[in-house]
A and B are shown apart, each in its own frame.
Chain A
């Protein structure tokens, strides 16, 4: 099943849902999930240039972060990074969605039509109906592309809002919840991601104990 799974992940150009994978493999979702995690571990153990991510609600193969420079020497990135105004607007939409332009502008204190347009064009936000108030303003929500842009799987991974202090990082690399993925081989190269993984383990442990 793992080899078949690898095929599916290879042909897809977007994150694949567990249900779709299960249907294609004619297997139970739970078995597919086990296989996904096994594949994730295998890729890491054999020092593959690829890794398996949980991103934008699905599963997708990506290159490992330590090879980004190599790749950048061959491919050049098209899209520009978000401006500060874009980032700020996106953050507000993400937490307050669905939100209208006037509501957004009330928070930011500036008119935001241009920024919204840019974010729409980049498909980081989308229109989601209209608010049934005076003028029926358009409501905006974030898109799956938004999750993908920040490398997170769902909105619950957004940092908790607090006025001061840094916020924990997301699961950007392999889901480190099961510790076996932290092989000795990736210690040196991706320090940042190692830190990320440790954080995640802590968070998960905390939520587990709460559940009990």
Chain B
């Protein structure tokens, strides 16, 4: 369901409807778990009027929360039916909103701390990346492979490749192999290698024409990009190993 012409506007000073609502709760000095819903709803709607009178468009999210507030207000106006035997008493209509506000408030509470840290950290300066990086390569943390190292590995292979290549004057039949096809092929290879991983070099069957080599490399990059495959280099300058990222091993790099 798409709402046409959702305004892309951000209401000044508020990060969103929850922020505005928390602001009203704070200003009124009321308990978040016992929000006087009628008053707060009126004030919320009044704020929306203010936005409107300032000729500001109101983002859809604000309207949505307004509707929620009005719904809660109307449910609270209805007399509570006495709970029938064996039936749970009806939940406070505000409960869900309160839970959302509390969670939002939780994260907001840390923003101030993070802001202080940001400020402290900005007072510190670090040396930039090492100069003349062609002379040396910094170690890769935790066995990750960098694009540069993949490039070096390709370069090594390319220097060994082309052994079987015909002179350029030869007529080369048009090859119909696509990257997609190659991806399927090497993914099978990598997955077959399982937990031990497949050495980068073993992706290629040498000697082979450069065309194949580049195609294989492109296919591998594409698999890396799609997160179907993961590259690791356990030792510096060592072999780059490729692992299949199947559904049961969604390795998430928290950092």
Contacts and interface: CB of A to CB of B under 8 A. Distances in A.
Interface in A133-157: 139, 141-144, 146-152, 155
B168 interface: no
Given A108-B15, A110-B61, A172 B120 contact: yes
Interface stretch (A27-35, A39-47, A61-69, A201-209): A61-69
B18 interface: yes
A16, A75, A84 pick with most chain B CB within 10 angstroms: A84
Contacts of B16: 108-110
A163 B104 contact: no
B252 A139 contact: yes
A126 B253 contact: yes
A146 B129 contact: no
Interface in A119-143: 126-130, 132, 139, 141-143
Interface stretch (B107-115, B153-161, B186-194): B107-115
Contacts of A164: 109
A159 interface: yes
Nearest to A98: B252
B192 to A, nearest CB: 22
A4 interface: no
Given A20-B141, A196-B120, 20 more contacts: A12-B138, A53-B124, A91-B108, A107-B103, A108-B15, A108-B16, A109-B16, A109-B18, A109-B100, A109-B104, A111-B61, A129-B245, A129-B250, A146-B255, A151-B121, A162-B106, A163-B105, A164-B109, A167-B109, A169-B113
A17 B123 contact: no
A148 B115 CA distance: 14
B34 to A, nearest CB: 15
A115 B206 CA distance: 47
A61 B127 contact: yes
Interface residues of B, number: 53
A88 B117 contact: no
A52 B133 CA distance: 23
Contacts of B19: 109
B253 A110 contact: no
25 contacts: A11-B130, A23-B236, A68-B122, A68-B123, A82-B118, A85-B15, A87-B118, A107-B100, A107-B107, A108-B104, A109-B61, A128-B252, A139-B252, A143-B255, A150-B121, A151-B117, A151-B124, A161-B106, A163-B106, A164-B109, A167-B110, A169-B116, A169-B117, A193-B120, A196-B120
Nearest to A84: B15
Interface of A: 10-14, 16-17, 20, 23, 53, 57-58, 60-65, 68, 71, 75, 77, 81-82, 84-85, 87-88, 90-92, 95, 97-98, 107-111, 126-130, 132, 139, 141-144, 146-152, 155, 158-159, 161-164, 166-167, 169-170, 172, 192-193, 196
Contacts of B108: 88, 91
Nearest to B235: A23
Interface of B: 10, 15-19, 59, 61, 65, 100, 102-118, 120-130, 136, 138-139, 141-142, 227, 236, 245, 247, 250-255
A108 B121 CA distance: 26
Contacts of A162: 106, 109
A57 B127 CA distance: 17
Contacts of A90: 114
A108 B138 CA distance: 39
Contacts of B253: 126, 128, 141
The 7 closest A-B pairs by CB, nearest first: A110-B16, A151-B121, A13-B129, A68-B123, A109-B18, A150-B117, A65-B123
Contacts of B110: 91, 95, 158-159, 161, 167
A149 B103 contact: no
B138 A13 contact: yes
Contacts of A142: 254-255
Contacts of A95: 107, 110
A141 B252 contact: yes
Given A17-B139, A109-B18, A159 B113 contact: yes
Contacts of A65: 120, 123-124
